[in-house]
Structure 1
Amino acid sequence: MSQTEALQSLLNAVAAGEVNPEVALEKLKHFAFEPVGDFAKVDHHRSLRTGFPETIWGPGKTPEQIAAIMEVMRDRNPVVMATRIDPAVSDQLQEKVIGLRYYPTARICAISPITIEPQYPGTIGILSAGTADLPVAEEAAVTAELSGFRVQRLWDVGVAGIHRLLSNRHVLESANVLIVVAGMEGALPSVVAGLADCPVIAVPTSVGYGASFGGLAPLLTMLNSCAAGVGVVNIDNGFGAAILAGQILRTAYKLQ
């Protein structure tokens, strides 16, 4: 049950006399946020404000802390997600959290239904320049799918073999938002934006030789793109790109 549905259900129960105001008040105390031990405060209202529930950032947290936060969130959200989870941490979480699924390439752990139907019309196309960019690209893809959006993947279509991209023009033409993930010199988003008629979200990765400066070179290339309609997120931020793409589709849906 979503936060909106849970709040509506509680208000309906009070109006019908099934729940007295005192009980409802106790429930509402933790409706906005809820303490988890002495180390976290879960923002239960985030999905009401932004359309997306809070996501757990894995690095810096112990498996015990991540598991405790997930257990608090699971009753209030249809999907609970933790990002940047290494396999060793995932193994420990599997022992603590029932029904946890792990996406190894994306490094995401999630409590979610086996199948998630898209909640909004439209398609997010996600392209990666090279195979080494796949962890960031898959982070974007899995995040978008868990958030209820339709995703189409197109991997290893970098500019060093531009014919691979050009032979898959149908992916560009069928997408409503494109996420383009690239390291090295980061040229792929500019090429894609010159061919596509939809917003392009560029994601620089830290993949590259010494002069790529851990992703700064592709970041600057993307920021200086001569193609119009390119927005850029932070280095290796596949999660942020997916949420931005989702906001674009949700806004388009509301404007219909």
Structure 2
Amino acid sequence: MFQDNLTDLLENVQNGALSITDAVSRLKTLPFEDLGYAKVDHHRSIRNGFPEVIYCEGKTTDQIRGIFLVLMRSENNILATRASSENFAGVRQIAPNAVYYQQARCIVVNPVKKNQDANHYIAVVTAGTSDIPVAEEAAVTAETFGNHVERIYDVGVAGLHRLLAQLDRLRKADVVIVVAGMEGALASVVGGLVEHPVLAVPTSVGYGASLHGIAALLTMLNSCASGISVVNIDNGFGAAYSASLIIKEIMNGCQE
């Protein structure tokens, strides 16, 4: 179905029945490829700027492998999140160059280094070491999308001097992703120190009253520091996606 529609579109351009401008608009809404258990969106990068990302939880390894096979025909830097080592073993059977980031639980296939500008970067900051797995999901996602990432880990409010020692790196970042569990106070502190967007990621790290990240989520949502946006609990991917869109706009502005 997908190939038939694409062929018809190209033939219409060739015979003059469709302009190139109209063809590009049509490409943005061309049908997906239906695998039965998944409908693979080939043109998400045209519409949204980045290709479809595979969320592995709840999928079988065979399903994940099938989606990879389809995306590998047209995409580089294919990212899968929340992947297990078993998922990776299955994917590597069809993609020997696949890379598994164990802490981040991410698989990247056909990794291609893009032109990363070290002067424009995303800082990924954690309150504690226990927050690193979520932070690594954010960092790997951002890097897969072609961004330069600076990691600043274990600088929580229990020892604020650790954060202040990194102030220069924080202030030079175009976007700061703050990952924190417990009471989630670090996002407010960082938000009061920098002039760039801060994306806060509450984590499910903490004792009973942290309520699996709800306490940190509510703290971040109620922050008195301006310029803070909050994503869902443990959603490092979502923060990195938003940060990548911000960086993309900045880089487009630099080229104009």
Deviates more, 1:109-118 or 1:123-132: 109-118
**In 1, are the aligned partners of 2:65 and 2:90 still within 8 Å (CA)?**
no
Counterpart position of 2:20: none
For the Cα contact (< 8 Å) 1:120–1:250, is it kept in 2?
no
Residue of structure 1 equivalent to 2:62: 64
Aligned to 2:21: none
In structure 2, the residue matched to 1:142 is 140
What amino acid is the match of 2:52?
Answer: E
Give the Cα separation in 1 of the matches to 2:67 and 2:96: 13
Structure 2 residue corresponding to 1:245, chosen from 233, 243, 246 = 243
Give the conservation status (yes or no) of the 8 Å contact 1:133–1:207: yes
Measured at CA, do residues 144 and 153 of structure 1 come closer, stay the same or move farther in structure 2, by a change above 3 Å? same
Gaps of 5+ in 1: 1-6, 17-27
Query: How many positions carry a matched residue from both structures?
Result: 237
* Cα distance in structure 1, aligned partners of 2:31 and 2:125: 37
What does residue 77 of structure 1 align with?
75
Distance in 1, Cα, partners of 2:122 & 2:145? 12
Q: What is the CA-CA distance between 1:98 and the residue it aligns to?
A: 3.0
Q: Once structures 1 and 2 are overlaid, which stretch shifts more, 82-91 or 60-69?
A: 82-91
Q: In structure 2, what is the Cα distance between the partners aligned to 1:57 and 1:34?
A: 17
> Using the alignment, how far apart are the partners of 2:213 and 2:172 within structure 1?
29
Looking at structure 2, the residues matched to 114 and 243 of structure 1 have their Cα atoms a distance apart, in angstroms, of 18
Separation in 2, partners of 1:177, 1:76: 30
Q: CA deviation at 1:89?
A: 2.4
C-alpha distance 95-118 of structure 1, shift in aligned 2 (>3 A): same
Could you state the TM-score of these two structures normalised by the residue count of structure 2?
Answer: 0.85
1:203-242 counterparts in 2 under 5 A?
A: 203-242=201-240
Give the CA deviation at 1:233.
0.3
- Partner in structure 1 of residue 24 of structure 2: none
Which whole-Å CA distance do the structure 2 matches of 1:158 and 1:151 have between them? 19
Q: Which residue of 2 aligns with 1:115?
A: 113
Q: After alignment, is 114-123 or 216-225 more displaced? A: 114-123
Q: For the Cα contact (< 8 Å) 2:68–2:91, is it kept in 1? A: no
Aligned to 1:33: 32
CA distance in 1, matches of 2:31, 2:154: 43
Structure 1 residue matching 2:50: 3-state secondary structure: coil
Q: 1:104-183 residue pairs with structure 2 within 5 A?
A: 104-113=102-111, 115-118=113-116, 122-183=120-181
Q: 1:115: Cα distance to partner?
A: 3.2
| Aligned mates of 1:121, 1:243 — CA distance in 2 | 19
Residue by residue over 1:14-61, the C-alpha shift from the partner in whole angstroms, topping out at 9 and shown as x without a partner, is 759xxxxxxxxxxx8x9641122x111101111001101010010111
Identity of aligned residues (%): 52
TM-score by length of 1: 0.85
| Distance in 2 separating the partners of 1:32 and 1:146 | 26
The DSSP-based 3-state class of the residue aligned with 1:102 is strand
Amino acid in structure 2 at the alignment position of 1:86: S
Gaps of 5+ in 2: 1-5, 16-26
Is 2:191 the partner of 1:193?
yes
Deviation of residue 171 (structure 1)? 1.4
